[in-house]
Amino acid sequence: MNMEIGKTYHQEFQNGDRIYCRIVSRFANGRFKAMKAEGNRKPVQCSVDNHPSIPWIETPVNEIPKKLL
């Protein structure tokens, strides 16, 4: 999957927990600058990779946490 700037993606784990990332920009090395939200924590800036072993799934608009809108 090609990740797009401005869209929100998530990873879901076996225990039901989710990590959400809103893509901000792309680095020259192919990684992405993003805002990450995990649980009830405040969003933080991070770098993410779209590696096939841990796929990012595009999050439907109605499921995006309000803190990332």
Q: What is the pLDDT of residue 1?
A: 64
Q: Whole-structure pTM over 0.85, yes or no?
A: yes
Q: What is the pLDDT of residue 55?
A: 86
Rounded Cα distance between 14 and 67, Å, is 24
Phi-psi region of 40 (alpha: psi -120 to 50; beta: other; left: phi over 0): alpha
Give 4-62 pLDDT, tens digit per residue: 999 999 999 889 899 999 999 999 998 999 999 998 889 999 999 888 788 899 999 99
Q: What is the pLDDT of residue 39?
A: 83
Length of the chain: 69
Rounded Cα distance between 50 and 1, Å, is 8
Residue 12 CB neighbours (<10 A): 11
